[in-house]
Structure formats: C-alpha cells, structure tokens
C-alpha cells in the first residue's frame, strides 16, 4: 500500500529532514558513548551501558511513533480509506512501552553514575582540594 499522490509533500519533506537529523544525532551520541566507554572501567562503565540501553529504547519509541501517522497506521493521510487504526494503536502501544523502558534505563544509569561519583574520594571537599576535581575516578587510558 502506498500513499496517494495528494498526500502532503511538505509532510514528507519535513519528516525526511527531521528523521535524517535524528539519525545523525543518534550516530554522534553513540560515537561519543563509545569514546567515553573506552576511557572508563568498572561501575562507571556499567552505568554507561545502562544509559546506552536507555538511549536505544528511546530511539525505538520515536521510531514506533512514526508508524502512527505514516505507515503502517497512515492516520496523517487525507484519504480515510488508508487509515489503519489497529496498526496505529499497536505502534502507539509499542512506542509507549519503549519510552517507559528507555526512561527507566536512563534513570538506572544515572543512579549508578551518582553512586560512582559519591563513592569516589574526589567527592570529599578536603581530598578534592588536594588531588583535583577528577581524582579517584577509575579510568583506562
């Protein structure tokens, strides 16, 4: 099933441009994540893995949201015969599931980062002054 010729071209262009920008940003986020992960070890690396899992789930939730208005749901189509409410609902449910899961993973990751930073000797004011702001963090170089 394809969209009719009178489907708003501006909508295609908008979502194509925005989707392309999102893909570039996601690639940059994961490139930066890989660089940061290479420099860490132990519990901090575990926290970064949780954050990455959250980012993947949030990206998937955005992907499913596209299925509401465009294929397979086609609820943005001006042709009512193309509307697929069941498929749009399924995409919405999947998107919300991935969104909740993603935010939960991000929360777990940030809690783990906080625990690492609290447990680091650099979190104490006297040691921070003596050894610098990043002292005590485990890093591989």
Residues of the domain holding 90: 9-131
The answer to the question of residue 138 being in a domain is no
Inside any domain, residue 4: no
Give the tens place of pLDDT for each residue, 56-114: 999 999 989 888 887 888 887 777 888 889 998 999 999 999 999 999 999 999 999 99
Is residue 2 situated within a structural domain? no
* Contact between 44 and 113 (Cβ < 8 Å): yes
Overall pTM surpassing 0.85 (yes/no): no
Q: Give the pLDDT mean for 26-41.
A: 94
Q: Measuring CA to CA, which residue among 119, 68, 116 is closest to residue 94?
A: 68
In a domain, 75, yes or no: yes
Assigned domain for 127 exists: yes
Q: Is residue 140 part of a domain?
A: no
d(CA 73, CA 92): 10
Is 102 domain-assigned? yes
- Residue 112 in tokens: 């783990």
Burial class (CB within 10 angstroms; exposed 0-12, middle 13-18, buried 19+) of 18: exposed
Tokens for 86, please give them.
């069941």
Name the domain count of the chain: 1
């Amino acid at each position: 099933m394809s969209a009719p010729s009178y489907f708003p071209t501006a909508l295609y262009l908008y979502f194509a441009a925005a989707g392309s920008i999102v893909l570039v940003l996601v690639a940059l986020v994961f490139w930066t994540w890989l660089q940061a992960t290479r420099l860490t070890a132990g519990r901090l690396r575990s926290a970064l893995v949780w954050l990455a899992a959250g980012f993947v789930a949030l990206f998937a939730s955005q992907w499913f949201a596209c299925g509401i208005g465009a294929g397979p749901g086609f609820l943005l189509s001006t042709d009512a015969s193309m509307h697929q409410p069941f498929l749009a609902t399924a995409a919405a449910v999947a998107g919300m599931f991935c969104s909740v899961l993603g935010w939960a993973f991000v929360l777990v990751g940030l809690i783990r980062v906080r625990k690492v930073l609290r447990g680091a000797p650099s979190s104490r004011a006297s040691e921070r002054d003596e050894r610098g702001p990043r002292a005590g963090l485990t890093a591989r170089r």
